């Protein structure tokens, strides 16, 4: 057999037919094993439109925010994988989604021994390959107080974060979770000299400005309490009479004073004259744009406008690219501003 005959034989061969069970097994293996890769490095069909939505990182209380890779936050990504000339439909998910998949064994409580919230969250990640950093308020559970049933690892961790007004931020490029407070600092302290401002966003970089007015009552007190066990606390904003309280907060896992205080402060931070500011800025490497770089949720940013500087909390960021060849990459950010 010469080379020409061998080439003809290869071209006439057909890929093996796969059963529906094999297709299902293929999808599960991809979801369980494949980490996200940029679309430009994978063998995907060319996009039909020049504008490609790359990825989205959002912020919401008591939920997993962010994403590992390039896809809409929190949602699987549907595309095609090719084996030879045969396409296979495949569902891709961020690695952190594995902690919420239904095939994981659901945990059952209660815990018979006293527990610390951060340690309880780390225990949920044993043998998963994920690591965790807890920088939000930590607190203690008495024996038997940390009780839950039919919960996946991510559901338990998100519930722990929700209890003290925190959020879960997955790392973009590793199997790691950060538990941080939704508000790094109460809004009435954002203009303090020692406020943890991450970066300054120059107004000259901003385009497509928009605002949504979402005013709330100017609460100055919040009553928080556990239920079967725990403690109760009236959290009052310093320097006020505490005469305009929020609705009372009851939570089974408010079992220690630090947790009650953190949750009360979080509830008070949601009040006042709030504007959700949406702006678009270019995305350059950190060293090429005077240190602005990628805007990330749960961080404070200062905007030095001519009418007066103000500070906003990033709630989410969408990244998109337009054009072909030398594309223009932009990030659409949403900032919570308190007037």
Tokens of 329: 């990459």
Residue 53: pLDDT band with limits 50, 70, 90: very low
Lowest-pLDDT range, 77-81, 123-127, 134-138, 279-283? Answer: 77-81
Cα angle 184-179-76, degrees, rounded to a multiple of 5? 115
Per-residue 3-state assignment (H helix, E strand, C coil) for 26-77: HHHHHHHHCCCCCHHHCCCCCCCCCCEEEEEEECCCCCECCCCCCCCCCCCE
Residue 48: pLDDT band with limits 50, 70, 90: very low
pLDDT tens per residue across span 176-195 = 999 999 999 999 999 999 99
pLDDT tens per residue across span 233-244 = 999 999 999 999
pLDDT value at residue 29: 56
Q: Please state the pTM of the whole predicted model.
A: 0.73
Predicted confidence (pLDDT) at residue 315 exceeds the cutoff of 60: yes
Phi (first) and psi of residue 13, to 5 degrees? -75, 145
The larger pLDDT score, comparing residue 80 to residue 200, is at: 200
Q: Are 190 and 311 in contact (CB under 8 A)?
A: yes
pLDDT tens per residue across span 153-172 = 899 999 999 999 999 999 88
3-state secondary structure of 237: coil
Predicted confidence (pLDDT) at residue 256 exceeds the cutoff of 70: yes
Domain boundaries, the chain: 191-213+273-339, 216-272
Q: Are 68 and 36 in contact (CB under 8 A)?
A: yes
Number of neighbouring beta carbons within 10 Å of residue 118: 18
Query: What CATH number does the domain located at 191-213+273-339 have?
Result: 2.40.30
Cβ-proximal residues to 67 (8 Å cutoff; 6+ apart), any chain: 55, 56, 57, 73, 74, 94, 96, 170, 172
Question: Residue 156: which of 123, 116, 184 has the closest Cα?
Answer: 123
| Average model confidence (pLDDT) across the chain | 79
Helices and strands in the chain: count of H runs, count of E runs: 5, 19
pLDDT value at residue 52: 35
Predicted confidence (pLDDT) at residue 104 exceeds the cutoff of 70: no
> Facing residues of 337 across strands?
275, 312
pLDDT value at residue 36: 39
Predicted confidence (pLDDT) at residue 215 exceeds the cutoff of 80: yes
Percent of the chain whose predicted confidence (pLDDT) is above 70: 67
């Amino acid at each position: 057999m010469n080379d020409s005959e061998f080439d003809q034989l290869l071209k006439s061969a057909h890929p093996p037919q796969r059963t529906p069970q094999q297709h299902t097994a293929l999808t599960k293996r991809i979801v369980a094993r494949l980490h996200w890769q940029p679309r430009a490095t994978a063998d995907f069909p060319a996009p039909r439109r020049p504008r490609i939505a790359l990825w989205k990182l959002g912020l919401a209380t008591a939920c997993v925010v962010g994403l590992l890779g390039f896809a809409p936050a929190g949602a699987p990504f549907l595309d095609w994988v090719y084996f030879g000339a045969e396409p296979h439909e495949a569902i891709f998910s961020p690695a952190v989604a594995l902690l919420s998949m239904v095939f994981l064994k659901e945990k059952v409580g209660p815990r018979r021994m006293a527990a610390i919230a951060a340690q309880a969250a780390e225990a949920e990640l044993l043998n998963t390959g994920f690591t965790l950093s807890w920088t939000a308020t930590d607190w203690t559970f008495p024996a038997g107080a940390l009780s839950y049933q039919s919960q996946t690892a991510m559901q338990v961790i998100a519930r722990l974060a929700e209890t003290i007004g925190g959020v879960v931020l997955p790392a973009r490029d590793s199997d790691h979770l950060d538990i941080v407070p939704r508000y790094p600092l109460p809004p009435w302290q954002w203009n303090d000299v020692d406020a943890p401002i991450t970066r300054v966003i120059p107004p000259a970089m901003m385009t497509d400005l928009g605002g949504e007015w979402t005013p709330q009552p100017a609460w100055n007190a919040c009553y928080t309490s556990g239920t079967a066990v725990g403690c109760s606390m009236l959290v009052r904003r310093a320097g006020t009479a505490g005469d305009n309280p929020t609705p009372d907060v009851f939570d089974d896992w408010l079992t220690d004073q630090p947790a009650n205080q953190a949750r009360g402060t979080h509830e008070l931070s949601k009040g006042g004259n709030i504007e959700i500011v949406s702006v678009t800025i270019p995305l350059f490497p950190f060293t090429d744009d005077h240190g602005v770089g990628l805007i990330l949720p749960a961080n404070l940013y200062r905007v030095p406008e001519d009418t007066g500087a103000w500070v906003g909390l990033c709630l989410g960021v969408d990244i998109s690219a337009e054009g072909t060849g030398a594309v223009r990459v932009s990030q659409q950010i949403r900032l919570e501003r308190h007037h």
